[in-house]
Amino acid sequence: MALVKTPSTLVHSQPALDDAEVARIRNDFPVLETTVHGKPLVYLDSGATSQHPRTVLEAEQEFYEHRNAAVHRGAHELAVRATDAYEDARVSVAQFVGASPDEIVWTSNATEAINLVAYALGTATAWAERGRGGDSMRALALGPGDEIVVTELEHHANLIPWQELAFRTGATLRWIPVDDDGRLRMDEAERLIGPRTRVLAFAHASNVLGSVAPVEELVALARRVGALTVLDACQSAPHMPLDLKALDVDFAAFSGHKMLAPTGIGALYGRRELLDALPPFLVGGSMITTVTMERAEYLPAPQRFEAGTQRISQAVAFAAAVDYLSQIGVERVHAWEAGLGARLAEGVAGIQGVRLLGPQPGEEWHGSGRIGLTAFDVEGVHAHDVGQYLDNAGIAVRVGHHCAQPLHRRLGLTASTRASAYLYTTTAEVEAFLGALGEVRGYFGVAR
């Protein structure tokens, strides 16, 4: 799988991250100084939402203090400064993922980004039925006999929009199954992705298993039949070098709040020609060229999909977040987290009565190791009780089905506990977590 960064962001000369540098990095994150239940916070829930360095917090505050105005609307100097900041942020985020600025659409989060694509494809079907948009719209339209393919690994945000698109258009939703361990069945992928496939949507990295998808193989299968590819990059963009052009996907979605940025901001990447061909998702001001009482004409992408007052300060802070990651070096972050993920997997798998989900220690699925994330099931103890015990020890983890009910059901579970690391996680914190996890079954009286 290609994990290639653009030359401008490659870091060749910096040494690997170590605990000493991570300790210095932690000083940039005010919330990590927090105590919970009288104990220092051990934050192992970055897979759900990350924490923010001061530079990100300051970037948003600086915008409001010195440049706050509506973008793309005013001719006065403050509006020009606000618009410049907003569009400069688009350039920064685009460079971070190997895209062109006009291929990045601001959204509220990755969920909205995926819904944007699914809804726009449904609208293309309606437009084509009414003779609007010509051949380009007919090429995007779906109908009975067409198929949308996802995987059994998907977060609900990359499953339900496609269920609804299938319902609206009469297309059929199919999915690539996983085996008993959760590994994607690539033999089934080759069988399922065929001439009727119009869309293939899949996660780059599983938010439950920590496994990395065989992107090149899946994209090649889709290209063979002319299907569109939609990549959920929520668990990859924050943690590994990412070049969406090199991965050759048509669309990709990622969220700012998982990569040091505020909540309320995400991005959709789309090939320029596809974004310009898609009908809009939301309509109103700022995304039109001409409006009469009968109809409207729409701007090219990305403004085509950015109706109304935009997430201006959040976009500025998003740019500060990717700048922070770039300065540290995404390759270094990825290597550090890979080491933490390996230790988490080894430690969890070594505790009696605890079932590690996903790749086992030393395993590589589809030619890739795991990201710095582990989910597990503690025999005889509900995931919520595990989470409560760890929380009392000052350790924050995620519990539940992690918005992936079908995958949990396939693995014979209703819920699991998940620990997820990031660039500010220390090896001492991982060891503290493993020590506390080893006490859980004894505390609840189920240890043998």
- Tell me the backbone φ, ψ of residue 405, rounded to 5 degrees: -60, -45
pLDDT of amino acid 396: 98
Mean pLDDT of the chain: 95
> pLDDT tens-digit profile of 396-421?
999 999 999 999 999 999 999 999 99
Which positions ≥6 away from 118 have C-beta within 8 Å?
161, 162, 164, 165
> pLDDT tens-digit profile of 132-160?
988 989 999 999 999 999 999 999 999 99
Average pLDDT of span 307-324:
96
pLDDT above 70 (res 9): no
Question: Which contacts (CB < 8 Å, 24+ apart) does range 393-396 have?
Answer: 393/37, 393/39, 393/42, 393/432, 393/436, 394/35, 394/36, 394/37, 394/38, 394/39, 394/40, 394/41, 394/42, 395/42, 395/44, 395/432, 395/433, 395/436, 396/36, 396/41, 396/42, 396/43, 396/44, 396/45
pLDDT of amino acid 448: 67
pLDDT of amino acid 13: 57
Rounded to an integer, what distance in angstroms lies between the CA atom of residue 275 and that of residue 117? 9
Domains of the chain in sequence order: 7-53+329-443 (3.90.1150.10), 59-325 (3.40.640.10)
Side-chain-side CA neighbours of residue 418 (13 Å): 26
Rounded to an integer, what distance in angstroms lies between the CA atom of residue 304 and that of residue 289? 10
Average pLDDT of span 26-45:
97
Average pLDDT of span 180-189:
97
pLDDT of amino acid 5: 36
Catalytic residue among 4, 274, 288, 403: 403
> pLDDT tens-digit profile of 234-256?
999 999 999 999 999 999 999 99
Rounded to an integer, what distance in angstroms lies between the CA atom of residue 84 and that of residue 21? 34
**97 Rama class: left (phi>0) / alpha (psi -120 to 50) / beta:** alpha
pTM of the model: 0.94
- 234 has catalytic annotation: no
pLDDT above 80 (res 12): no
pLDDT of amino acid 38: 96
